[in-house]
Amino acid sequence: MNDLLLVINAGSSSIKFSLFENTPSDPTLLYKGQMEGIYVTPHFTAKDASDKKLVDEDLPAELPKSHDTSLRHILKWLDTVTAGRKIGVIGHRVVHGGTRFSKPELVTPEVIVELEKLIPLAPLHEPHNITPIKIMGELLPGVPQVVCFDTAFHSGQPELNQLYALPYELSLKEGIRRYGFHGLSYEYIASVLPQIDTKAAEGRTVVAHLGNGSSMAALLACKGIASTMGFTALEGLPMGTRTGSIDAGVVLHLINHLKMDAKQIEDLLYKQSGLLGLSGISSDMRDLEDSGTVRAKLAIDYFVSKVVREAASLAAALEGFDALVFTAGIGENGADVRLDVCRQLRWLGVEIDEAANKVRSGEPRRISLPDSKIAVYVIPTNEELVIARASRACIAS
């Protein structure tokens, strides 16, 4: 029976996978795992749906280090645990859909050509999303593949929120406009919000996806109308190693006066900045919270202040908001960050329940006081489930 759904989320050095059972209701997770350090020391881990670790091992050193080897290894392992059951569809996370893709699509040779045209829009991510599609096409020929885009959720934003004040032709002809990312995460939040808070689901919600990569989005009746990320995943909030928004004049200064070239600037903006750059210690929020140094505190304070300012900016786009949702690694687990953000949004009507905020749980939960004008929630995201659902729907249609 071809009743399994495989979800692939591939990056430059890692491939994450989730295997779902295609049950009549929602797809049900069976296994998840990842291959990390693909080109250094490939390390394979896998867990079952209850989070029990089933594998935790380095790949044999004599194997070639590649996405191809890693995907073969993942499939081989899946074969051992699924006892002959077959994969009926493969869903891939793809970072950039450009203006061409505003919904999930079945992979065809034409789609691959179109995806390759988008590489200049996301050179650090898109190639690593495309490679596994090609490899899986060879390893499991005949199994349909579906691409799901991080930009798609934002494609219905009003034009005003998609533009930069550059000559208009650059948007039309070159696609230089604001796309927004983390859309699969926002889509998951939008899919569960109606069961958690009907008023917010029908009204105005600000979602803060705070992880290694961080962004925020404004949802009106569960549709994205504004986001902090733009043309690339660099704009908006500071992140683990990315700057977030900076004056474009800084880039000109780096070129003209510090004589840096494009590669050096790319490295600076994407890999050496953000929490790491400000703290000089780590890109990981937990390390900064544990460290207690002045610069670690500065980095956390900067991060919090930008979350607060972006929340207010998105609130303006929504003309107020009914709910604030925290999600992703920091949003789901960083109680201190949530507390600081909520305290600084008190003037807007956010009243955090400090005891509820401290509770650790993998379930969606409310962390604001009953009389808070704005309801605050922690909702664990599930991008893989969104991809599984979309892939199934795509082949069914």
Binding site for ligand ADP (CB under 6 A): 211-213, 240, 284-286, 289, 328-330, 333-334
Question: How far is residue 300's CA from residue 162's CA, in Å, rounded to a whole number?
Answer: 29
Q: Which is nearer to ligand ADP, 157 or 215 (CB)?
A: 215
Question: How far is residue 124's CA from residue 397's CA, in Å, rounded to a whole number?
Answer: 32
Tokens of 159: 């034009």
Q: How far is the CB of 287 from ligand ADP (least distance, A)?
A: 7
Q: How far is CA 360 from CA 338, 344, 363, 364, 379, in A?
A: 13, 22, 9, 11, 12
161 is in an annotated binding site: no
Strands (E), the chain: 4-10, 15-21, 28-36, 43-48, 53-58, 87-94, 105-106, 145-149, 204-210, 214-220, 223-227, 323-327, 365-366, 375-378
129 is in an annotated binding site: no
Residue of 150, 197, 322, 340 marked active site: 150
Residue 214 CB neighbour total at 10 angstroms: 30
Q: How far is the CB of 388 from ligand ADP (least distance, A)?
A: 17
Instruction: Report the SS3 class of residue 202.
Output: helix
Which residue sits closest to ligand ADP, CB atoms considered? 329
φ and ψ at residue 32, rounded to 5 degrees: -145, 160
Nearest CA to 276 out of 259, 288, 291, 266 is that of: 288
Tokens of 7: 């979800």
Q: How far is the CB of 212 from ligand ADP (least distance, A)?
A: 3
286 is in an annotated binding site: yes
Q: Which is nearer to ligand ADP, 254 or 281 (CB)?
A: 281
Question: How far is residue 40's CA from residue 388's CA, in Å, rounded to a whole number?
Answer: 30
Q: Which is nearer to ligand ADP, 242 or 389 (CB)?
A: 242
| Geometric angle at alpha carbon 33, from 30 and 39, rounded to 5° | 155
Whether 150 is catalytic: yes
Tokens of 148: 């799901």
37 is in an annotated binding site: no
383 is in an annotated binding site: yes
263 is in an annotated binding site: no
Instruction: Report the SS3 class of residue 30.
Output: strand
Q: How far is the CB of 57 from ligand ADP (least distance, A)?
A: 22
330 is in an annotated binding site: yes
Q: How far is the CB of 341 from ligand ADP (least distance, A)?
A: 13
Phi-psi region of 83 (alpha: psi -120 to 50; beta: other; left: phi over 0): left
Q: How far is the CB of 244 from ligand ADP (least distance, A)?
A: 14
Spell out the long-range contacts of 96-99 with Cβ–Cβ below 8 A and sequence spacing 24 or more.
96/121, 96/122, 96/125, 96/126, 96/149, 96/150, 96/151, 96/179, 97/149, 97/150, 97/151, 97/152, 97/155, 97/179, 98/151, 98/175, 98/179, 99/175
Q: Which is nearer to ligand ADP, 202 or 289 (CB)?
A: 289
209 is in an annotated binding site: yes
Q: Which is nearer to ligand ADP, 146 or 208 (CB)?
A: 208
Q: Give the pairing of strands 145-149 and 87-94.
A: parallel
Q: How far is the CB of 12 from ligand ADP (least distance, A)?
A: 13
Q: Which is nearer to ligand ADP, 93 or 154 (CB)?
A: 93
210 is in an annotated binding site: yes
Contact assessment for residue 226 and residue 317, using Cβ atoms and an 8 Å cutoff:
yes
Q: Which is nearer to ligand ADP, 95 or 285 (CB)?
A: 285
- Binding annotation: 9, 16, 93, 209-213, 284-286, 329-333, 383
- Binding annotation for substrate: 93
- Binding annotation for ATP: 16, 209-213, 284-286, 329-333
Give the active site residues.
150
